[in-house]
Every structure is written in C-alpha cells, then in structure tokens.
Amino acid sequence: MTTHAVGIGAVRPNELWAYERAPMIIYWELTNACGLACRHCRATAQPEPAAGELSTAEAIAVLDDIVTFSAEGEPLPHLVMTGGDPLKRPDLAELVAAANDRGIGVSLAPAVTPLLTREAIFWMKEIGIQAISLSLDASNAEYHDGIRMVPGTFEATLTALDHAAEAGLPVQVNTLVTATTAADLPAVFDVLSQHTLMQWSLFFLISIGRGSELTELDPGEAEKWLLWASRLNASAPFRVKTTEAPHFRRLVTTPRLRAGASTAEIEAGPMARGFGIRDGNGIVFISNLGDVTPSGFLPVTVGNVKDTSLVELYRNSAVMRSLRNPDSFVGRCGVCEFRNWCGGSRARAYAWTGNPLESDPLCPYQPKADPQS
C-alpha cells in the first residue's frame, strides 16, 4: 500500500466540500460553429453548427438544472459561454437573460471575427454579460495570424480589447504557450501593457483537437516560464494566471513557505482563491451536443445533459469523484505535498497516458514523499 504524505492544504474541509457540491465555473460550448480555424482549437470548430446542438428549450432546461446546484443561498456557479463562436448562436441574448434571471452570472468567449464589432461589444454589456475573453497568441500579426489562420486577426483583437475597455466590459486575454511561442511571451506582455485588461491567462498547450499538431514545452522550460509569470504578478498592471498549469500555485507559494508562512496563513490569503480548482474539481464542461466532461481539455464524457441532470453528473459520476480526490492520483501528483492546492493538469495526464489520474508530465517537481526520488 502506498503511504500518502499529509499534503499541504489537506485539512480544508469547507473548500473541498464546496467543490463536491458545485463547480465554481461551468464552461458551456454553445456551438462549435466559428469563422476561424485556429491551429490549436480544442473544439475543432467548423463554419456551420453541428447537427444535434442543444435547442433553446434544452439550453434553458440546463439553466433550470444549474440553479439546483445551490441551496439556501449557496453561491451558484459562473457560466462561461464559449464555442466555436457563441456569437453564432441566434438565441444568445435569450440565453444570457435566462441565466441572469436565475441569478447565474455569465461571461462570454467570442471569436475575433467580423461579428465582433464595436456594436456587438456594447450589446454584450447591455444584455448582461459580465466579462469576455479574447485570445492573443503572439506579439505581432505574422505569428498570431499564422496560428489563427485568418489575416487581420491580430489587429482586430487589439481593437476589440479597446472597444471592451470603452464599453466598460472587463477582459481576460488568453495566450497560448507552446514550445515555439513561449519566447515571445515578454513581447506579448509589452503589447498587452499598452491596453486595458483585467487578467492575462497563459494557456499551456495540451495536445488534443487541432492542438495535437503543436508541441508542448518540456517540463524544464515550462518551469522557467511559470517562474517568470509568477514574478511578473508583483508589477503587472493586470493579474497573471495560468490555464492547465496548476503547478503555478506551487511556484507562487514556495517563496512564502520558505519565508516561514504557515499553510493556514497562505490559505487565508488572496493567493488561495484558485487553490484546488482543476478539471472536474470546481470546473465542468458542457459540449455543443450536451456531453459533459471534466473540462474542455479532458474529453472523458460522463453523460449528457439532454437525458441526465448536470448536477447529478458533476456530483456523482465515478470519474468526477476520483478527479476531486487527490489521494486517488497516481505517481508524483498522488504523493505530492502540493496536491490539494495544485493536483496537476488532469487533462494533460490523460492526453499523455490515457489515465486522468496520472501525474502531470509538464511538472518537473519531485515531491518530498516520492519513493522514486
């Protein structure tokens, strides 16, 4: 029997219970229709909607179901409407209004296409969207448009960023990080520093969908860039975070632990806000066809919202339950003292090994309790 070290944050019953009860964020791919054909697209988007996408009535039934995640004033999950391009859904305003009427906050992840006009951005604000995300994958048009496969997308993204600022709509900018793009990150930061945004998220590539044609960083390089990003946070005019690289939490907390801060002190601070959130734990994904997976990057379907409650699938499916239990993880992540705060990308573990409970291959850390070290 493997002996698991008592991990940092192992005694956080309230927070662990919260993610057992409900995700913090539901990513909902309203359609896979999109005018772009990005080289790393998780959704393998196409120009027209796929047959079998959820109807308006089916989508509203899902919103009714989401409300039941909460009882007696517990917070409801936040909805991120994504795609494809959610602007391709003719019923978008109706769905946002229906979500807001039920007390569910909505953010939008539109594609940068001719549909994303200044008027469309002001309209988003008007219909009750709280924030949007935009993708900027390079510091210049040549690189960015090469990834997005449509000339002019780089300039259009910066214009959309400025229109959102003008409309008072907060923006998260997402930047893809791969073996070939990482060196450009400081220049991307310089570009973004000249604009207004709320948050910059570095998305560490997972080789699925069209992304399998691109190359992930090796663990040593990933560590270097995560360290760079963690130092940037002290001076950047916006918050810097990561997607699918939760060991960022190890890097930002290690200096504080070394300086003598206790785990309780760290968990009580703002740094702890995202602790533990990962695929299936605090996050869940609904595809355009209604399939439910632990995240958009972990394509293990646990059921479909057309015939089963999302609440039931999130809370009780065996896959989701195991993803919420870091002690069920295999290898280094399973014995790591950071597993409750981090836990590794379950999506990358699955992409590389076929087992979502395996270790995250992007992280080079040797846990203190690892019998291999």
Residues that bind ligand SF4 (CB under 6 A): 247, 250, 332-333, 336, 338-339, 342-344, 359-360, 363, 365, 367
DSSP annotation of 341: T
Nearer to ligand SF4, 69 or 365 (CB): 365
Nearest to 77, CA basis, from 86, 65, 60, 59? 65
Residue nearest to ligand SF4 (CB): 336
* Residue 305 neighbours by CB distance under 10 Å: 22
Residues belonging to the chain: 373
Side-chain-side CA neighbours of residue 49 (13 Å)? 18
Report, in Å, the least distance between residue 358 CB and ligand SF4.
10
Instruction: Identify which of residues 319 and 333 has a Cβ nearer to ligand SF4 in the complex.
Output: 333
Residue 61 or 257: the one with the smaller Cβ distance to ligand SF4 is 257
- Which residue, 130 or 322, is less far from ligand SF4 as judged by CB? 322
User: What is d(CA 119, CA 324) in angstroms, rounded to the nearest whole number?
Assistant: 42
CB of 332 to ligand SF4, least distance (A): 4
Least separation in angstroms between CB 52 and ligand SF4: 36
Closer Cβ to ligand SF4, 282 or 343, answer by number? 343
Which is closer to ligand SF4, CB of 81 or CB of 245? 245
Contacts of 244 by beta carbon, 8 Å cutoff, 6+ apart: 203, 204, 206, 297, 345, 347, 348
Beta carbons of 49 and 72 less than 8 angstroms apart? no
From CA 287, how far away is CA 93, in angstroms rounded? 19
Residue indicated by tokens 């699918």: 244
Shortest reach from residue 233's CB to ligand SF4, in Å: 18
Closest distance to ligand SF4 from the beta carbon of 369 (Å): 10
Nearest approach in angstroms of CB 260 to ligand SF4 is 20
Shortest Å, Cβ 345 to ligand SF4 = 7
Going by DSSP bridges, is the β-strand pair 291-293/282-286 parallel, antiparallel, or unpaired?
Answer: antiparallel
CA atoms of 123 and 139, how far apart (whole Å):
28
Residues ≥6 apart with Cβ < 8 Å to 370: 332, 335, 336
Smallest distance, Å, CB 242 to ligand SF4? Answer: 12
End-to-end CA distance of the chain: 18
Comparison of 163 and 247: residue with beta carbon closer to ligand SF4: 247
Residues contacting residue 289 through CB under 8 Å, at least 6 positions apart? 50, 52, 53, 54, 304
Q: Decide whether 43 or 363 has the Cβ nearer to ligand SF4.
A: 363
Q: Residue 153, exposed/middle/buried by CB under 10 A (0-12, 13-18, 19+)?
A: buried
Q: How far is the CB of 262 from ligand SF4 (least distance, A)?
A: 19
What is the sign, positive or negative, of the torsion defined by CA atoms of 133, 136, 141, 142? negative
Nearer to ligand SF4, 154 or 341 (CB): 341
